[in-house]
Amino acid sequence: PLSGKTAVITGSNSGIGLGVAREVAKAGADVVLNSFTDREEDHALAAEMAKEFSVKVTYIAADMSKAEDCRRLITDAGTCDILINNAGIQHVAPIDEFPTEKWDAIIAINLSSAFHTTAVALPMMRAAGWGRVINIASAHGLTASPFKSAYIAAKHGIVGMSKTVALETAQEPITCNAICPGYVLTPLVEAQIPDTMKEYDMSREDVIKNVMLTRQPSKEFATVEQLGGTAVFLASDAAAQITGTTISVDGGWTAL
């Protein structure tokens, strides 16, 4: 259903970004992968995906903490029918001890990057007569937890910006929405399980249910495939009138 479209996904050489990129490629879109590194394996990943899904896949190195890089990513992509702003980092500390450089980096990567990419992509979408902006926010774009001030400010910010972009494009064949994942099983999260098992002397199942997923009523992780499927849905014709809103993929977290 997405053949002939090009999707640019920021922060997509691992985790959710990569999972979303794979689902979008599976649906037939050409894909531009991105991260700040420029390693052989990043370009090899693009080549493998191209082969697996028979679509065009390129990798463009660009640092989403830098305004010029964000804008160059879209310019270098050449076309951008589907923009998926996913790059994100986290830092956990009480606000009176929160390092200023961490605050600045989180706001830059998790929020401002989407401003810059969207600003360059929208004119391309208008020229093409179709477009989708999909921002990967978080349950923390709708609700808060202590010690994550920068992350929560950035994620609430990107939910707000998604609504503004939706209003600015409301009478055009362009939509903008935010996906709000709960806890997602990425390699990063998976890697924390063995240590936590040791620390609490708990089984894998108990660590997942009673430590990691305390706030996720389903007691199951969301998967990167489910997030990819949600992005493909938002890019579909069925979602043409869905704009300026959030879709939670959080096992009931924000219903609590």
Residues at the site binding ligand NAD, with contacts judged by CB under 6 A: 11-17, 35-36, 63-65, 86-89, 109-110, 136, 138, 181, 183-184, 186, 188-189
Minimum Å distance from CB 4 to ligand NAD?
26
**Six-digit token string for 242:** 């869905």
Phi, psi (rounded to 5 degrees) for 179: -100, 130
Nearer to ligand NAD, 3 or 37 (CB): 37
Nearer to ligand NAD, 136 or 232 (CB): 136
Minimum Å distance from CB 184 to ligand NAD?
4
Nearer to ligand NAD, 19 or 244 (CB): 19
Do 151 and 233 touch, CB atoms closer than 8 A?
no
Minimum Å distance from CB 131 to ligand NAD?
21
Question: Alpha-carbon distance 1 to 23, whole Å?
Answer: 12
Terminal-residue alpha carbon distance, the chain: 35
Phi, psi (rounded to 5 degrees) for 77: -60, -30
Minimum Å distance from CB 140 to ligand NAD?
7
Nearer to ligand NAD, 89 or 120 (CB): 89
**Six-digit token string for 232:** 């493909």
Question: One of 59, 151, 183, 200 is an active-site residue; which one?
Answer: 151
Question: Alpha-carbon distance 110 to 126, whole Å?
Answer: 25
The answer to whether 151 is a known catalytic residue is yes
Question: Alpha-carbon distance 207 to 40, whole Å?
Answer: 36
Name residue, tokens 């090009």. Answer: 6
Catalytic residues: 151
